[in-house]
Amino acid sequence: MGTVDSLMNPYLPLAQGAHAGLDIVVSEAGPADHDELYSAFAGIVTAGEGYPQAPGPLSVADFDDYWLDHKSLVAVARLAGRLVGSYYLKPNFAGRAAHIANAGYFVVPELRGRGIGEALVRHSFDEARRLGFDALQFNLVFESNPARRLYERLGFQAVGRVPEAVDGEDAIVYWRRL
Ligand X SMILES: CC(C)(COP(=O)(O)OP(=O)(O)OC[C@H]1O[C@@H](n2cnc3c(N)ncnc32)[C@H](O)[C@@H]1OP(=O)(O)O)[C@@H](O)C(=O)NCCC(=O)NCCS
Identify which range of 32-40, 58-66, 74-82, 109-117 contacts ligand X by CB under 6 A: 109-117
Pick one of 88, 106, 133, 156: the residue that binds ligand X (CB under 6 A): 106
Nearer to ligand X (CB atom), residue 150 or residue 158: 150
Residue 138 interacting with ligand X (CB under 6 A): yes
User: Among 63, 64, 62, 88, which residue's Cα sits nearest to residue 75?
Assistant: 88
Contact code string over 36-75 relative to ligand X, x by CB under 6 A: --------x----xx-------------------------
Residue 161 interacting with ligand X (CB under 6 A): no
Pick one of 38, 41, 67, 105: the residue that binds ligand X (CB under 6 A): 105
Residue 153 interacting with ligand X (CB under 6 A): yes
Residue 118 interacting with ligand X (CB under 6 A): yes
Which spans of this chain sit near ligand X (rule: CB under 6 A)?
44, 49-50, 105-107, 112-118, 138, 141, 145-147, 149-150, 153
